[in-house]
A and B are shown apart, each in its own frame.
Chain A
Amino acid sequence: MTSVAARIKDLFGPEIAGPGFAFLAVMLFFGIASPQFLSAATFGSVAFQLPELGLLTLAMLLPVLTGGLNLAITFTANIAGLTVAWVLQANGGVDAGLASFALGCILAIAVGATTGVVMGLVIAYTRAHPILVSLSMMIFVRGLGEFLTRGGDVSGFPAFLQPIGHGSILGIPIPLLIFIACVLIWHVLLTRMKLGFNTYMIGSNIEAARYSGVNTRKVIVLVYTLSGAMCSVAGIIMLARFNSVRVGHGESYLLITVLACFLGGVNPFGGFGRVIPVFVALVVLQLLSSGLNLMGANQHLATAVWGILLIAVMILRWLAAQLMIFNRRKG
């Protein structure tokens, strides 16, 4: 029994406490406040909305764990979506085949990874601050997208893309399946692989990591490359969901991904944080937005409540730390 508890604790870590508590609070509050809340429809809409924000949050998570930030995520996703759109259009638009879609996806991921490689190289070799590097990359990628599309929409895709955005297998939406697969990949990467271990090492103390023989530059470049590639996955899902691509789609998600990371217990200075609590935090955010929607509020109020929730969790964490200091003094 204890070993099971230990395994669970091992899997989720202490970071789960904050988002787990928030999850229970949200379920309890809306369960009482609104009779329709605990229904399949609510969870269905959450399941369809979760992946867009979720995939971008995964892209944000890796750089945050190294103590950095990737502000280019949303526009990298846009440019990846545009790449797919152009490949499809070059191959007949509505009549394009599966092969051209596959080619588009590969090119899109290559484009996303390229932005990551450039950012990673600049950050690793010049030691410039990641906020500034990713910020200039964001301005560049957004400008590139605007330049190439003249600010307009790109649409007209083959019908087989529809199920990727809106279909479901065994009642589970396909975007959600893709998102859960990506969560698992990130979880395995961070807990079972050398790259994950080195990511945490760099986040807690980059000098110590370097002295203990970690090739910090390589790890940072890889982290940003993976982050860029994950943006591309988000971009492809967004293309399938909206059935069009426009530079600026999902722009408002940028700071919310950071919020979701911090809500999921990731340390802003890097080094600490896990994928599963971040996943729970994302579910909480979407449930909150669905619950408020049921009660007649709009998305903007939900955004404000997301901010309030983050502050509430931070204050609770501070209170818990104060309590621990108090108990230690007493004991």
Chain B
Amino acid sequence: MRKLVQSHATEFALLAVLAAMCLVLSLATANFFSLGNAFDLLNTSSVNIIFAVGLLVVLIAGGIDISFAVAASVVQYGTALILGWMGGGGWISGLVIAGSLGISLGAFNAFLIHRFKIISIVATIATFNIYFGLLMFFTQGVSIYDLPEWLTDRIVLFEHEMPDGTWAEITLPVLVMAICVIATWVLITRTTTGRQLYAFGDNPEGARRFGINIGATQFIAFGWLGMMAGIAGLIQAHYAQEVVPNALYGRELDVLAAVVLGGARLGGGKGSVLGCVLGVLLIAITQNGLNLMGVSPFAFKMIIGAIILVAITLSNTSLERLLPFMRTQGTRR
């Protein structure tokens, strides 16, 4: 048990904070501790969690990507156009188109990074501007509201009537999110490729000398994020029932903050799917709790920013000083 706590210090710290917050919120507000609210939380955070697990893979491999949210907007728009030309389509074709468009955008990032040895933050800031600039230029900022019916219909997978007559629902985004989370978990913990991603992120030169194919690793990491971004883009279009070219602009930094809060290290070699999901949920629950407590929505960002600032300050200093046994990093996960 102690070994488990040692090797997953961030995850346990996050779980403890989450549990404490949930306890306080259940006592302080009438609606927090209900099935309806929990399901709402899951439905609204699905898109961010899909983004987050994708970004996690890139962070583990020692890179960083700024362009994924904008890439998702490009994918949304492109998928909507292609589906329009095809005259309909369905979920399968939608996901395949969105996924492959996403992979190609991710692969372009990987190509720049690997072939020309451009640092990932430089390359993705450049592609961020290219993707967003071209998207806004070609679309003139015009949104698409005329989406196929299958895409805008809400699909309820599980519903339960609450005593007060409202329905608690789990919708399709949650299922897609669960599949993405499990797939990412399998990729990074249960496959050789996953071990190679960790090894590469931790020590690129060592990984190269060990015979790991650096190029393939980069393409897998950025391609995976591209695929997740594409899927998240389609799901966002489904959830919002519209495609707005600049709707996801700015989301990349919020997701990055959540993922790093979840224990992934900027610099590579460290991070887990559980921590990453908990990081997104922590921010979502904070926002939800503030909402239920009647705090002005204008104050949300301020409070969340302050919480992250305090969290990183504490997690980098006193946690290790207060609990010396946590100082050893354990296995690099």
Nearest chain B CB to A322 CB, angstrom units: 10
Please report the total number of B residues contacting A with Cβ < 8 Å.
Answer: 47
Are A147 and B125 touching (Cβ within 8 A)?
no
The interface bits of chain A over 140-151 (1 if a CB of B lies within 8 angstroms of the residue's CB, else 0) are 111110110011
Are B304 and A314 touching (Cβ within 8 A)?
no
Are B313 and A126 touching (Cβ within 8 A)?
yes
Interface residue stretch chosen among B12-20, B133-141, B166-174, B204-212: B133-141
Interface residues of B in 113-128 (CB under 8 A from A): 116-119, 121-123, 125-128
The interface bits of chain B over 54-91 (1 if a CB of A lies within 8 angstroms of the residue's CB, else 0) are 00000000001010000000000000000000000000
| Secondary structure of the B contact surface, majority rule | helix
Residue of A nearest to B318 (CB): A126
With a cutoff of 8 Å between Cβ atoms, the chain B residues found around residue A318 in the complex are 116-118
Interface residues of B in 275-332 (CB under 8 A from A): 296, 298-306, 308-309, 312-313, 316-317
Given contacts A139-B254, A262-B122, A303-B129, contact A128 B302 (CB under 8 A): no
Are A310 and B137 touching (Cβ within 8 A)?
no
Does B266 sit within 8 A of A, measured CB to CB? yes
Are B309 and A133 touching (Cβ within 8 A)?
yes
Of the candidates A122, A126, A132, A137, which one forms a contact with B266 in the assembled complex, judged by CB atoms under 8 Å apart? A132
Please report the total number of A residues contacting B with Cβ < 8 Å.
Answer: 49
Residue of A nearest to B311 (CB): A136
With a cutoff of 8 Å between Cβ atoms, the chain B residues found around residue A314 in the complex are 112, 116, 118, 122-123, 126
With a cutoff of 8 Å between Cβ atoms, the chain A residues found around residue B267 in the complex are 129
Nearest chain A CB to B239 CB, angstrom units: 23
Interface residues of A in 297-313 (CB under 8 A from B): 297-298, 300-308, 310-311
Of the candidates B136, B261, B298, which one forms a contact with A147 in the assembled complex, judged by CB atoms under 8 Å apart? B298
Residue of A nearest to B257 (CB): A135
Nearest chain B CB to A70 CB, angstrom units: 13
Complex Cα distance A21/B79, Å? 39
With a cutoff of 8 Å between Cβ atoms, the chain A residues found around residue B123 in the complex are 311, 314
Are B299 and A140 touching (Cβ within 8 A)?
no
Are A140 and B305 touching (Cβ within 8 A)?
yes
Complex Cα distance A129/B316, Å? 10
With a cutoff of 8 Å between Cβ atoms, the chain B residues found around residue A230 in the complex are none
Complex Cα distance A277/B227, Å? 38
Complex Cα distance A193/B209, Å? 43
The 10 listed contacts between A and B (C-beta, < 8 Å) are A132-B266, A132-B308, A139-B305, A255-B66, A300-B136, A304-B132, A310-B122, A310-B129, A311-B130, A314-B126
Other A-B contacts than A142-B305, A143-B301, A262-B122, 7 sampled, CB-CB below 8 A, are A139-B254, A262-B125, A268-B121, A301-B133, A304-B130, A304-B132, A314-B123
Interface set of A (CB-CB < 8 Å, partner B): 71, 118, 122, 125-129, 131-133, 135-144, 146-147, 150-151, 251, 255-256, 258-259, 262, 268-269, 297-298, 300-308, 310-311, 314-315, 318
